[in-house]
Structure 1
Amino acid sequence: MAIPVPLPYIERFEKLAYGMFVHWGLYSQLGRGEWVKFIEKIPTPEYKKLKETFTAEKFNAKEIACLAKDAGMRYICLTTRHHEGFSLYDTRGLSDFDAVHSPAGRDLVAEFVEGCRLYDIIPFFYHTTLDWHQESYQKDFESYLDYLHKSVEILCTNYGRIGGLWFDGNWNKPDADWKESRLYEIIRKHQPEAMIVNNTGLFEQGRVGHPEIDSITFEQGTPSPMNRQGMPKYLAAEMSQTMNRHWGVGNNDFCYLSPKEIIENLCACRKVGANLLLNVGPTAQGQIPEYEVAALRRVGQWVKLNALPIYNGKPYQVHSTDNDFALKAEGKLYLFIRNLNIAGPSNVTLGEKCDTAKAFLGIKQRIKSCRWLDNNEPLSFTQNEDGLFCINATAFNYGSHLVIRVAEVELA
């Protein structure tokens, strides 16, 4: 059975490869994660008072977009409204529970889009579908859906062209009629090439949903390869992941990913053709914490070294050792290789100092040359008629370790 051809905007999305998720709202003032209202059972009238202290005085969308650029991230998805029900955009009369009616007094989504445009970053809008603030969510669901759809139409018609909309919350009422077709018709009317994503949650990762959905989701889980044969439509895939154990800022959460782990997770996504959407949780006033800034910029240096295969590479089927894998881009193969040694004096290096033999089975086209992508060092190799390709993966020079190193293979 044939694999469908991706629509142009879906193909462009896949080449974005790596994005920033930003979870920010009233909950950020409490510093105990984005679910704090629900988990701590904070009464709505009490929680609503957080609006009166929301100033956003350190929210600088241009700085955030610049950070994404430095990190090698090509898109940012901002929580325009999370489950707490507070909107970072001007709801234009639908509600006064928004940023323009807070001490911030600004349309923060407008600032976000402006910052993204300045640095050639594609803006995406996260929008909750469940709502802890709106009483109609529990008491008059039809009325609530009208409110939700009007909210989404505001986002589709007031901020220029956007990359997509990322919904989250349908899993809260799995048996309800969410009128998804009506919602997606609004988006297609105003933003015909916007990606439509609807998160299937922690327990249904990779589930294919409504026909208008453009990407399946893997929340906090490594994407699995997708068999697209016979699908009515080509779907992208995306993993969303936190840098610690919370989406919104957790002041006492010290369990952060290292740059090494981020590189490994990005590669795990690209191995199967999926994007990585990595989250940051700004502080109460809208500033991204220092550790996230430093870690993202460090990973960005690695992405810059391997930009061509990371953004443009497509999965290439080979069998390998050590969970190594291959991507193909612009007529060349790119081998992503782990577990390399470091060469150096025995009194400062641990373990083996020698080169490593790496084998890949399934490359039947004749190979012309092989080199490390980061420094152009040529690599010796052998190849037989059965598609077995072996390279002598030279050790890192002392003072360098790329976690996963990429070899460029030129085909004859």
Structure 2
Amino acid sequence: MEKAGIPAPEPRVERFEKLGFGMFIHWGLYSQLGQGEWIQRIGNIPGPEYAKLKETFTASEFKPKEIARAAKRAGMNYITITTRHHDGFSLYDTRGLSEYDALHTPAKRDLIAEFVDACREEGLLPMFYHTTLDWYQESYVNDFTAYLDYLYRSVEILCTRYGPIGGFWFDGNWDKPEEDWKLDELYGMIRRLQPEAMIVNNTGLEHRGEVGHPEIDSVTYEQGRPKPMDRRGMSKYVTAEMCETINDHWGIGKADFMYKSVPALIESLCACRKVGANYLLNVGPTAEGQILPVQTAMLEMVGDWLRIFGQPIYEGKPSDIEGEGDNFALETSDGKLYLFIYHLKISGHANVTVNGGGAGEKTFTGLQRKVESVRWLDNGEELSFTQDGETGTLRFHATGFPYGVNYVVRVAEATTA
């Protein structure tokens, strides 16, 4: 499936792509207000008033082992946490750089150290979100050179005090696009101290999918749907990741009831993997650090789906074989083809099923290899098919879901010669 003219991914990038699905955590002082992570700026809260939230930050319910287990249960393979968000407050021990950190709150804990340990216990890759803009540090406005030194030393602490980490997810350069952020120095330090770490820098909503710097390992897509990467002519292989909120806020919104549905989350995951992108799904813990039960329950259901269909999600690569409508194909290195089918319905009596139909012939084009069998991945049911070798067309009969079953997206495995 390797294409001519496209560079091979470096090992860290290849490993990252196979992780497929991760948890994003937005948690900080703003969580105490329960109005999202941007409430200081959007709510016009004066800096000194906002900073008083430090005095009531307890982290009393922050149990990273439980969070890591929830992520593992959901089929996630890595967690990206806000070590410092735009408000400038750090969840880690800044070791004298600033007193605006978790060690100088009632929590009196290095919350990132605990997080990293919990991830490793569950076999998850810990990754660090870190803001590059800062609403707390006066130097960000008054002395940008001094601020960049502060940012550099902050990241250096994260590079040296927590063992090998999965990567850095930076966010904020878009706030000062005209400035020289001295990224060669920052990224060079990461390459030296954490050579296996992914480097990601969020390009924001206006520049989704842009690379931005030669050291970037993954482009970002914030909300929406990622696009296929055109890597022709690239100097290195760059992957992609799409991050999405589970409701309408990154940090907890106590009055935000606009939760996405479980089917929408499954479809987002599939849409990401269709183009080879990872899916980074956000949760916003409470002021004390607990993930809300509704969010945990939704993640569990996605995990149930992945226990059935996880193999192609994690191991599959985008394919040139095309389906009709939303249907698409992924291929694995062992030559298997996985056909993702949307909009099937439950088979059964009209009085006890909803909107029957959706089953029937499904067509895929661009397939030149001989197909030997097609079966549903969930129950092994063999499906009848025909193949036209001259046109590269595969047609198979997709049966509906058995009564009592609806996987939202169902996957058929096609074995090819």
TM-score, L = length of structure 1: 0.99
Kept after mapping to 2: 8 A contact 1:322/1:339:
no
2:178 aligned with 1:175: yes
Q: Tell me which residue corresponds to 1:241.
A: 244
1:252 CA displacement: 0.5
Percent of residue pairs identical: 61
**SS in structure 1 of the partner of residue 290 of structure 2:** coil
Matches within 5 A, 1:272-311: 272-311=275-314
Give the Cα separation in 2 of the matches to 1:247 and 1:315. 29
Deviation at 1:353, TM superposition (A): 4.8
Residue 118 of structure 2 is matched in structure 1 by 115
Deviation at 1:354, TM superposition (A): 7.4
Give distance in 1, aligned partners of 2:157 and 2:211. Answer: 27
Separation (CA, whole Å) in 1 of partners of 2:105 and 2:357: 60
Task: For 2:90 and 2:358, locate their aligned partners in 1 and report how far apart those are by CA, in whole Å.
Answer: 57
Partner residue, 1:332: 336
1:359 aligns with 2:363: yes
Partner of 2:413: 408
* CA deviation map 1:42-70 (0-9, x unaligned): 11111111000000000000000000000
Aligned position for 2:53? 50
Q: Which runs of 5+ in 2 are unaligned?
A: none
- What is the CA–CA distance in structure 2 between the aligned matches of 1:100 and 1:351, rounded to whole Å? 56
CA RMSD of aligned residues (A): 0.9
Question: Pick from 346, 352, 360: which aligns with 2:350?
Answer: 346
Aligned to 2:399: 394
Given the alignment, which residue of 310, 316, 320 partners 1:317?
320
User: SS state of the match for residue 415, structure 2?
Assistant: strand
Q: Retained in 1: the 8 A contact 2:113–2:162?
A: yes
Q: How many residues align?
A: 412
**Is 1:216 matched up with 2:219?**
yes
- Counterpart of 2:93 in structure 1 is 90
SS of residue matched to 1:218: strand
Counterpart of 1:128? 131
Shift, 1:221, TM fit: 2.5
Segments of 5+ residues of structure 1 without an aligned counterpart are none
Is the counterpart of residue 231 in structure 1 residue 234 in structure 2? yes
Distance of 2:362 and 2:387 partners within structure 1: 12
Counterpart Cα distance in 1 of 2:175 and 2:160: 28
**1:133-187 Cα shifts (integer Å, max 9, x gaps):** 0000000000000000000000000001000000000000000000001000110
Q: Distance in 2 between matches of 1:356 and 1:396?
A: 12
Q: What are the Cα deviations for residues 100-123 of structure 1, in whole angstroms up to 9, with x where unaligned?
A: 110000000000001101100000
CA distance in 2, matches of 1:70, 1:258: 18
Q: Could you say if the C-alpha distance between residues 229 and 50 of structure 1 is closer, same or farther in structure 2, counting changes exceeding 3 Å?
A: same
Match for residue 20 of structure 1?
Answer: 23
Offset at residue 389 of structure 1 (A): 0.3
Determine helix, strand or coil for the equivalent of 2:59: coil
Cα distance in 2, alignment partners of residues 323 and 355 from structure 1? 14
- Specify which of 69, 77, 83 is matched with residue 80 of structure 2: 77
SS in 1 for 2:156: helix
Match of 2:195 in 1: 192
CA distance in structure 2 between the aligned counterparts of 1:393 and 1:160, rounded to whole angstroms: 49
CA drift at 1:214:
0.3
- The aligned amino acid for 1:13 is F
Which consecutive segments of 4 or more residues in structure 1 shift more than 2 A?
A: 350-355
Provide the residue aligned with 2:384 in structure 1: 380
Secondary structure of 1:408's partner? strand
Provide the C-alpha distance between the structure 2 equivalents of 1:322 and 1:230, rounded to a whole number of angstroms: 30
TM-score by length of 2: 0.98
CA distance in 1, matches of 2:160, 2:293: 35
Contact 1:344 1:353 in 2 (8 A): no
Matches of 1:383 and 1:44 in 2, distance apart? 66
- The offset of 1:227, in angstroms, is 0.8
Displacement of 1:319: 2.6
* CA distance in structure 2 between the aligned counterparts of 1:341 and 1:97, rounded to whole angstroms: 54
Check the 8 A contact 1:343/1:354 in 2, yes or no.
Answer: no
One-letter amino acid of the counterpart of residue 97, structure 2: L
* 1:350 CA drift (Å): 2.8
Contact 1:195 1:214 in 2 (8 A): yes
Native 8 Å contact 2:323 2:329 kept in 1: no
